[in-house]
């Protein structure tokens, strides 16, 4: 059944609780932001994504990854979507995103549809937030109320992206510090990692676990399967794809966590949530594996929290007419976030 936004009425009871957790600095985001100016925004986003799903089953996972990679770099401001230009160095070439992000064409199609229906109204940053919600629901996952009202940045920040985006080989300690830098706690880390319950990953992001000294935390049967897909001769360069969740790869459910319990986590950054024997993360993995409702509730809370990282609001930034380009001459503007944040990121990198 298509996602129409009708079910939002069922969550109104929880909306006020959710909004109560949003700090004063984030209070300008609103669940009713487009009610008067673009009331069909969710339906329009949904229609484009539903169409994309017909030919690309991976698109939902790709879209939620865009939202994640955007929010971790100078906040949820669509900076990730900006292409290289005379004045902008794109974040898309960062270590974590280079040749691995997808769905930009779908985002552009959504923007085109919204500009036709509601010109100069819906930001690209809000498109990413809504698209993440729609993508999860279409794959069988939870629906959450999406606070809106973000505006788009006037620049990207590749240097910051290379410092703050988590990488697939990170240890648990590194992941915790990385998420804490964004104001996200251990529950957020484990819950948001659950987005790997659907989608695919290229061999080059995990094949270092397969050869030389194979990762002892990788199930031996799974190891043999992955070696067939990712030959040793191509370690570090193989772009072959495999499912992030070997159990139900196209469904948003809690099987990701039962995979971790069986040492079937594809990425090192997945498996360390359980194999590090950290009592906090192990307890959360066990809880989510046993109770899908608990996972869905925690995921919803955490992605709302992530979506509220340093949004531009009011007169800040702009509403881009095209998501991959700033409007007019505004591309000559300075960085949205300055040296303070980058200095903190330097401290983060040096500490991990």
Write out the catalytic residue numbers: 69
Residues 329 and 341: their CA atoms lie apart, in Å, by 25
Strands (E) across 267-324 are located at none
**What tokens does 208 get?**
């270092």
Which residues belong to the annotated binding site for substrate?
A: 166
Instruction: Encode 84-118: b = buried (16+ Cβ within 10 Å), e = exposed.
Output: eeeebebbbebebbeebbbbbebbbbbbebbbeeb
The tokens for 106 are 């779908």
Beta strands 200-202 and 241-243 are antiparallel
**Angular region, 120: left φ>0, alpha ψ -120 to 50, beta rest:** left
DSSP 295-309: HHHHHHHHHHHHHTS
C-alpha–C-alpha distance, residues 270 and 251, integer Å: 17
Q: Which two tokens stand for residue 114?
A: 């919204």
- A 10 A CB-CB count for 13 gives 8
Binding-site residues for Ca(2+), please?
70, 73, 75, 77, 79, 91, 197, 245, 248, 253
192, 136 Cβ separation under 8 angstroms: no
Paired tokens of 342:
């980058």
């Amino acid at each position: 059944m298509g996602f129409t936004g009708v079910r939002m009425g069922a969550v109104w009871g929880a909306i006020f609780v959710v909004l109560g957790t949003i700090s004063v600095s984030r209070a300008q985001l609103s669940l009713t932001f487009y009610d008067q100016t673009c009331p069909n925004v969710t339906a329009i986003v949904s229609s484009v994504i539903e169409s994309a799903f017909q030919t690309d089953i991976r698109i939902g996972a790709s879209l939620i990854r865009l939202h994640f990679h955007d929010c971790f770099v100078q906040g949820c401001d669509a900076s990730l979507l900006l292409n290289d230009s005379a004045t902008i160095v794109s974040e898309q070439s960062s270590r974590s995103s280079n040749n691995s992000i997808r769905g930009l064409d779908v985002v552009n199609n959504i923007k085109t549809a919204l500009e036709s229906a509601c010109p100069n109204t819906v930001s690209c940053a809000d498109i990413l937030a809504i698209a993440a919600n729609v993508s999860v629901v279409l794959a069988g996952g939870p629906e959450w109320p999406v606070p809106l009202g973000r505006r788009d940045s006037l620049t990207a920040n590749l240097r910051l992206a290379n410092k703050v985006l988590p990488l697939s080989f990170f240890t648990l300690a590194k992941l915790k510090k990385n998420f804490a830098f964004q104001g996200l706690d251990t529950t957020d880390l484990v819950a948001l990692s659950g987005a790997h319950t659907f989608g695919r990953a290229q061999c080059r992001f995990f094949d270092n676990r397969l050869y030389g000294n194979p990762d002892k935390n990788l199930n031996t049967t799974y190891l043999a399967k992955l070696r067939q897909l990712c030959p040793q001769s191509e370690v570090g360069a193989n772009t072959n794809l495999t499912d992030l969740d070997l159990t139900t790869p196209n469904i948003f459910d809690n099987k990701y966590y039962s995979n971790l319990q069986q040492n079937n986590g594809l990425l090192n950054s997945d498996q360390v949530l359980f194999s590090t024997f950290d009592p906090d993360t192990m307890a959360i993995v066990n809880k989510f594996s046993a109770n899908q409702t608990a996972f869905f509730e925690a995921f919803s809370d955490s992605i709302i929290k992530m979506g509220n990282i340093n949004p531009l609001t009011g007169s800040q930034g702009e509403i881009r007419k095209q998501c991959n380009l700033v409007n007019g001459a505004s591309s000559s503007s300075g960085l949205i976030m300055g040296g303070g944040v980058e200095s903190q990121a330097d401290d983060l990198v040096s500490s991990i």
